[in-house]
Amino acid sequence: MTKETHFDVVVIGAGHAGNEAALACARLKHKTLLITLNLDAIALMPCNPSIGGTGKSQLVREVDALGGQMALAIDQATLQSRTLNTGKGPAVHSLRAQADKRVYQQVMTAVLFSEENLEVRQGEAREILTENGRVCGVLTMTGSMIPCRAVVVASGVYLNSSVIIGDVSWESGPQGLQPANVLSKSLKELGFELRRFKTGTPARIDSRSIDFSLMEEQAGEEPAEPFSFLKRQQPKNLLSCYLTWTNERTHNIIRQNLHRSPMFSGAIKGTGARYCPSIEDKIHRFADKNRHQVFLEPETEHGIEWYAQGLSSSLPEDVQRAMYQSVKGLEHAVLTRLAYAIEYDCIDPTELSPALHARRVPGLFFAGQINGTSGYEEAAAQGLIAGINASLYLKNKEPFILTRDKAYIGVLTDDLSSKGVDEPYRMMTGRAEYRLSLRQNNADLRLTQIGHELGLATDERLFRMEKKRKESEAFISYLKDSGQMDAYKRGEEIHLENLDITPEARKQAEILLKYDGYLQREAAQIKAASAMENYLIPDEIDYSGISSLRIEARQKLSRLRPVSLGQAGRIPGVTPADVAVLSIWLKKARADQNNQE
């Protein structure tokens, strides 16, 4: 064993979670090591080559407002940009950008290697070392012992991963990359119970074999909208996507071969996501539907491989080829890479606090798919939170926790730590109770000041945010002072004279005016709930000694250690009556303590 120079933080995994975690730690002045199985796979997009979408764009914008990197990277790698759900209200408007996956990797890799305080290297973590129950280092497969005080595990889908196609399976990470087969043992020895989850991906198709003339073109919106509030790069719509559909022939091919599907034969043991089913699962579950959408999406600007969204599968190779070629426009499709399912180890995220800090091992943090989530955006959000809190842990400061009323990130971390997951977790707008207040277009107004105080959001970000806020307020004041408010609300033409306002600031003001009543109602709901969220629970409470609590509640509260009464109330198995009992007990305990002092 070779002992190395001491690092403050070691981040394991250079996917979307690991990158944000490593950058956050380094930018907060900690000596950081980012270790990854393969340097060529940094920021890899092994599944859908896109960023954003419903419920996900909100996460990307929040990561950006706090000082993260994902939005800046996708703005440089955009092939096409569209806003989804524009026929609905602003609460669910969601930007989505098709990415040049190679450019995205190049951009993120360059940022990582140029970051001060950050070292990036290829290698495999074998064991997380502890001393007196706390993290003290990482042991690699080559025998290097790296001393550190904090570790962020962001291992993605690589832990004991297996790829499955038909009746064939083998140990592998995504897209033929090597798996990480040893670290799971270390996590088990630290007391973590592992479970098996499953995800999958469609085949890739040679674009020269696709007849796009038989499909519906899906062009990008003009002008393309940047993800980052900094707007350093103006994205361009370089390529279109295309829509086609499965048909009865496609469905018959699948039905006749369901017995050969590893999903139905029992070969796949891992739990997959209900909201992102394979095509064979769709045909089985929605037998009444005679067609399903298939989107053809470019993976790079100059490459030939296209992604067939909607045709994820783990059927045998011969069935895949027949199935794909039954789709209109794909009659002569050449599959460059087969669709496959992948199983992997992950932890139970209720082992973590909302700061993504392991309850049983001080100094150990987890982010991304290791926590049972899916999606690049969910991973990046967790990585940023884990990196921030690893930094605060090193400084012996209180953790940074976003609540559900402040951000989609708060919804994500609260759901994971208090409710757990029984399938891969995906962020959706329906998970956020206060989604009208947590729009993608106001993430900067909500979080930039917080990011600046943490030390991640730059002065430039703060200046831009304050300028937008002032312009928005000035627009509303002008309408009131000039007597044009009623005319504006009736949709009549108004005269702004010399009022200088950006489109973003005007959009913000118009949403505030149009949805004022709804926003006030939501604000009242947030205020009513804040008493519970702000009623913090000391971590050292012995719940087993609160005899007035039901046994199940004592057990759940002892294991999950909620940080507030609000979070306690969201734990499955803890009833409102239990929360009331706990509230009374806490008030009495605090009164007794004050009397003693």
Q: Give the CATH number for residue 191.
A: 3.50.50.60
Residue type at 50 in one-letter notation = S
The 10 Å Cβ neighbour count of residue 134 is: 13
Residue 497 lies in a domain: yes
Q: Tell me which range, 64-78, 274-288, 468-482, is most confidently predicted by mean pLDDT.
A: 64-78
- Give the integer Cα–Cα distance in Å for 454 and 451: 5
User: Residue 430 CA to chain centroid, in angstroms?
Assistant: 15
- Grade residue 499 by pLDDT with cuts at 50, 70 and 90: confident
165 shares its domain with 80: yes
Q: Tokens in use for 481?
A: 């002072």
pLDDT at 539: 82
d(CA 368, CA 361): 18
Three-class DSSP category at 347? strand
Residue 310 lies in a domain: yes
Q: Evaluate whether residue 430 is within a structural domain.
A: no
- Asked if 28 and 174 sit in the same domain, the reply is yes
Q: Does the pLDDT value for residue 498 go beyond 80?
A: no
CATH number at residue 312: 2.40.30.260
- Average pLDDT (19-41) is 98
- Average pLDDT on 29-53 reads 97
**Average pLDDT score over residue span 121-135:** 97
**Of the residues 477, 505, 530, which one is the last residue of a structural domain?**
530
Q: Is residue 475 located within the same domain as residue 371?
A: no
Which residue shows structure tokens 């999958």?
Answer: 200
Query: Which band of pLDDT confidence, cut at 50, 70 and 90, is reported for residue 597?
Result: low
- Asked if residue 16 lies in contact with residue 111, where contact means CB atoms within 8 angstroms, the answer is no
Looking at the structure, tell me whether residues 545 and 521 fall in a common domain: no
DSSP 545: G
Measured distance CA(466)–CA(493) in Å, rounded: 28
Q: Are residues 306 and 371 in the same domain?
A: no
HSE of 398, CA atoms in CB hemisphere, 13 A? 6
Residues 376-388, mean pLDDT to the nearest whole number: 98
State which of 421, 448, 471 marks the end of a domain. 421
482 Cβ partners below 8 Å, 6+ apart? 495
Find the range with the poorest average confidence among 46-60, 159-173, 281-295, 394-408.
281-295
Please check whether residues 259 and 317 belong to one and the same domain. yes
Q: What percent of the chain has pLDDT over 70?
A: 99
Please indicate, yes or no, whether residues 194 and 224 belong to a single structural domain of this protein. Answer: no
Which pLDDT does position 271 carry in this prediction?
Answer: 84
Other Cβ atoms within 10 Å of 60 Cβ, number: 29
The CB density around residue 198, as the number of other CB atoms within 10 Å, is 23
pLDDT higher than threshold 70 for residue 526: yes
Task: Give Cα separations from 206 to 56, 203, 317, 337 (angstroms).
Answer: 29, 10, 16, 9
State which of 489, 511, 530 marks the end of a domain.
530
The whole-number pLDDT of residue 1 equals: 61
User: In this structure, what token pair is assigned to residue 337?
Assistant: 């890479």
Structure tokens that stand for 422 in this block: 């029984």
Residue position matching structure tokens 């800090």: 357
pLDDT at 74: 98
- Same domain? 264 vs 355: no
User: Is residue 404 scored above 80 in pLDDT?
Assistant: yes
Residue 426 falls within a domain, yes or no?
A: no
Q: Quick check: is 437 in a domain? A: no
- Number of structural domains (the chain) is 4
- Evaluate whether residue 450 is within a structural domain: no
Note whether 192 and 220 are same-domain residues: no
Domain region containing 525: 458-530
Asked if 367 contacts 21 with a C-beta cutoff of 8 angstroms, the reply is: yes
- Alpha-carbon distance of 141 to 139, in angstroms, equals 7
Estimate to the nearest angstrom the gap between the alpha carbon of 263 and the chain centroid: 26
Nearest to 27 by CA among 120, 151, 148, 118: 118
**What distance in Å separates the CA atoms of residue 138 and residue 11, rounded to the nearest whole number?**
10
What is the Cα–Cα distance from 349 to 153, expressed in whole angstroms?
12
What number is the average pLDDT over the span 555-560?
88
Mean residue pLDDT across the chain: 94
**In this structure, are 61 and 92 located in the same domain?**
yes
Mean pLDDT in residue range 299-328: 97
Question: Does one domain contain both 102 and 182?
Answer: yes
pLDDT interval class at 295 (50, 70, 90): very high
Q: Cβ(125)–Cβ(180) under 8 Å?
A: yes
CATH of the domain at 550: 1.10.150.570
The average pLDDT across 259-277 equals 82
Full-model pTM: 0.94
Residue 246 within a domain: yes
Whole-number pLDDT of residue 588: 84
Q: Is residue 211 part of a domain?
A: yes
Q: Are residues 280 and 268 in the same domain?
A: yes
The beta strands (E) that lie in 187-250 are given as 194-201, 204-206, 216-218, 241-245
